[in-house]
Amino acid sequence: MRNEVYRDDWGIPHLRAAGALELAHAQGRNAALDRAWQIEVERHRAQGSTAAFLGAEAVEWDRFTRRSRLDDTARRCFERLSPGTAAWVSSYVDGINAALREGAAQAPEFAAAGLAPGTWRPWTPLGVWLSTHILFAGFPTKLWREEVARRLGDDATELFATDGPGTSGSNGWLVASERTATGSPIIAGDPHRFIEDPGVYQQIRLACPEFDVVGLAVPGVPGIAHFGHTGHVAWAITNAMADYQDLYRERLRRTPAGGVEALGPDGWEPAASHTETIDVAGADPVPVEIVETARGPVIIGGPGDGGEAVSLRHPPRVTGDLGFDVLPALLRARTTADLDAVLDRWVEPVNVVLAADTAGATLHRVAGHVPVRPRANRLRTVPAWDPAYAWQGRHAPMERADVHGTAVMANQRGIAAPFGIEFAPPHRADRIQELLDESAHWTAEDMAAIHMDTHLASARPLLGLLEEAAGVTGPEAVRLSDRLLRWDRRMDADSTDATLYAALRAEVVHRLAAHPTFGPLGRTVHRDPYPELFRPWLATVPRVAYALEGLLTGKGGPLSHADRLAVVTAALEHVALEQVTGGRPTAPWGESHRLAPWQALPADPGETWPGLAGDHDCVLSTSSVPGITDHSARGPAARYVWDLARRENSLWVVPLGASGVPTAAHHRDQLPLWVRGELVPVVTDWNLLHREGERPDMSAGTSAESAVFEREVDGFGTVRLVPVDPARDIDLLHSWVTEDRARFWGMGGYSREQVLETYEFLDSLTTHHAYLAHRDGVPAALFQTYEPEADPVGECYDVRPGDHGVHLLIGPTGGTGPEPGYTGALLSVFVDYVFSDPAHLRVVVEPDARNTKAIARMVRAGFELGPEIEKPEKRARLAFLSRAVVHRD
């Protein structure tokens, strides 16, 4: 079988190939064609070479990438892959390299940036994964805690301990069999990331004889890592908020010979060092000294800067393992037990996983590599020369929990509590659980309402202080206070109350950040030697904004209740006065809370992105930075619903579209749906897809365009399979199935209306299909297919994965008499069609046990006879034809 690319109506790629390696090549090729600009930017980000075409603003990222040695770590991890995984990743890279120039020719960004497509190396996908997740665990927060302790004292180290910028907002939930309408589990949720153009997740289907998986892939990385549905088992993750990266204070010195030494637990020891050069578009090259101690690469400071430097230690650099051997194994998983065993080898990032299979089994666990070391390592930078802070192995086994009806993950403490310091507040998790508790009959379609919930529970502390403040303010402030206290606490896009609340919150954040207690922290962002890259973690206003709930409720902080009340009172008066003096009606929340996606090239200044509902602590977590901007740069990077009853009932959506090419029809066609909270169906029926570059016209009758399969048979003619249209084909169908020669078909006494009703019902199913086989344009046979597990025959034998059932009725020959090889030629076409889907491993037939001619014909074709079975309408004889017997290439 050649590699095939199909698309659904949203342009989502469905890839199938003869084997896993060929499929990886096809996935790489698709990434190069659909996402050429995106994956090339990611390759350069992983290598630290983006400034060469993006200019001086990209130097800080490139410097960090070089100093942290991401590309070298990726190479080390690739070299430790199993031979099978290495070949699989290499095949993906070969696919990218084979199509990258073609893809780049369609992407105008290359010309705009003056960038030529480059060459991917075998370990580049591992580098892309590393660069995507290296800041995921938020190790720069330890620099912030150092500054808090230095300025406010050690007791204040965890004062701002809450989810920080860019880390949380993801949701996931599992509804077990006993709580769904179908009696099978449902998994749903939405990963929260910076919204990028093109999107960080790509909807895709990967099918070959070993597996058939739909899910969300990361362009530039093979397989489907975080969100997938194999048809038998489905899984999803959220960030566990674990701490698994350490910062060590290093003392460095140069040796007389020009080398570098670092002070370790046993004294001064040699450190590796060399210099690299960052090319910068429109500016001079920038030299970067690369230093690595026994702890890890030095990312801040150096031997010539004086004082102490800081090194980064994280599992992939230490162990040479990124967990990529897990990726192909995930695709082959068929049960939650399979997934559970596979996930024991996962490394980066550390995730909370929810999974369920078609048998109703569930899984809720943490997966990833968390080193065992003192708690102090998680809090702040620690001295490299003190052996007390060394790593002592890996946490194993990881935490897990039983699922009783439902399970929710939303970056809250939960089962990941032993592995982290800062977690998301419980509001999203609590709200999802509250909503799930409202029903015991959930369906896949019901999940969209949970995705889009806008209730803001974190508003409670500010509104509580507002109620107290109202008694000591002027009339305008009293009116504003009364209005907000009556507010339903929903951050809806059309809500003006939400806008007023956001304005009050922003003013409170600014006043707290400027309070004498926290004033010293305002100088942190300007303090050397912190690189510019880490400034978002060191800025006081965002830190106050995300910790606002804790700061307003006290929790042992330095502000008294009187201090907090005074801040809220002053903020209320200020916002009320602005409302009076502004003279304009308050705009709805969606007017200021607009999507602001990241784009590698400067965005069109005239481009207007849509307004959004939601807020950081809503289930609809469309995060802004209160006190800085109402715009939302982070939010649901995808939404998904995995239905374990029927995979084709699953749903998904991404913020923009399937294509990364700006001129493509599917570049942003899902954006309006994403904004409204609508989802598109996951299509699994190949007959409902169209080949790459083609759009079959199903109204074209029996023309070639309406055929789902076509084959030229030497000496016989062209055979085309055309889906049955019950209304169009009823006369032919009724005449064939009611003839005496078709008595084994079981419809001999059916009226025309009964036949029509039967095939209309068949046409409504996604597990059963009927086709007319046309030989040189003339109807020759009726061919039907079905999934045995969805058919009564599935109750009569042990169905194997990959079984696909068929029924065959040869049409009348028009009085010309028997033609040698006639049935065999048709049968060979039907078998070819079934096996054109790599998920089909065995053809199953069940002719009437009395139909000795049909049974003999099957044996001659290579079928292996099985047992006789009792069906309600007949006694049948099972027969099986495996893919291996056909010897397909």
Per-residue pLDDT at 815:
41
Instruction: State the pTM of this model.
Output: 0.82
Q: How confident is the model over 21-49, as pLDDT tens digits? A: 999 999 999 999 999 999 999 999 999 99
Q: How confident is the model over 653-694, as pLDDT tens digits? A: 999 999 999 988 899 999 999 999 999 999 999 888 988 865
Per-residue pLDDT at 694:
55
Per-residue pLDDT at 445:
96
Helices 460-469, 561-582: crossing angle, 10 deg rounding: 80
pLDDT-based confidence at residue 167 (cuts at 50, 70, 90): low
Q: How confident is the model over 386-413, as pLDDT tens digits? A: 999 999 999 999 999 999 999 999 999 9
Q: From the CB of residue 507, how many other CB atoms can be counted at a distance below 10 Å? A: 21
What is the average pLDDT score of the chain?
91
Per-residue pLDDT at 240:
95
Mean pLDDT of 745-749: 83
Q: How confident is the model over 465-509, as pLDDT tens digits? A: 998 886 677 888 999 999 999 999 999 999 999 999 999 999 999
Q: How far apart are CA 873 and CA 743, in angstroms?
A: 12
Checking if the pLDDT of 156 tops 60, the result is yes
Of 68, 131, 170, 458, which residue is the catalytic one?
170
Q: How confident is the model over 331-380, as pLDDT tens digits? A: 999 999 999 999 999 999 999 999 999 999 999 999 999 999 999 999 99
Per-residue pLDDT at 765:
86
Q: How confident is the model over 506-540, as pLDDT tens digits? A: 999 999 999 998 878 876 544 556 888 998 888 89
Checking if the pLDDT of 697 tops 70, the result is no
Least confident of 265-274, 692-701, 776-785, 823-832: 692-701
Mean pLDDT of 858-869: 89
In 3D space, the residue among 221, 266, 504, 476 whose CA is nearest the CA of residue 385 turns out to be 266
Per-residue pLDDT at 556:
57
Place of tokens 């004292």: 153
Per-residue pLDDT at 309:
95
Token representation of residue 356: 């369920």
In 3D space, the residue among 543, 637, 627 whose CA is nearest the CA of residue 595 turns out to be 637
Q: How far apart are CA 18 and CA 465, in angstroms?
A: 65
Per-residue pLDDT at 852:
86
Burial 797-813 (b: 16+ CB within 10 A, else e): bebeebbbbbebbbbee
Burial 815-853 (b: 16+ CB within 10 A, else e): eeeeeeebbebbbbbbbbbbbbbbbbbbbbbbbbbebee
Look at the domain 700-886 and name its fold. Aminopeptidase (3.40.630)
- Identify which has the larger pLDDT, 604 or 402: 402
| Residue 354 bridge partners (DSSP) | 236, 364
Checking if the pLDDT of 236 tops 50, the result is yes
Burial 80-111 (b: 16+ CB within 10 A, else e): ebeeebbbbbbbbbbbbbebbeebbebbebbe
Mean pLDDT of 443-458: 97
Q: Is 751 a catalytic residue?
A: no
Q: How confident is the model over 283-292, as pLDDT tens digits? A: 999 999 999 9
Checking if the pLDDT of 135 tops 60, the result is yes
- The DSSP line for 305-342 is S-S-EEEEE-HHHHHS--STTHHHHHHH--SHHHHHHH
Are residues 654 and 669 in contact, defined by beta-carbon separation less than 8 angstroms? Answer: no
Checking if the pLDDT of 696 tops 80, the result is no
Checking if the pLDDT of 705 tops 60, the result is no
Q: How far apart are CA 805 and CA 785, in angstroms?
A: 6
Q: How confident is the model over 554-564, as pLDDT tens digits? A: 765 788 999 99
Token representation of residue 209: 């004889």
SS3 per-residue string spanning 401-444: CCCECEEEECCCCHHHHHHCCCCCCCHHHHHHHHHHCCCCCECH
Share above pLDDT 90 across residues of the chain, in percent, rounded to a whole number: 70
- Identify which has the larger pLDDT, 450 or 714: 450
Mean pLDDT of 879-886: 86
* One-letter identity of residue 297: P
Q: How confident is the model over 612-635, as pLDDT tens digits? A: 999 999 999 999 999 999 999 999
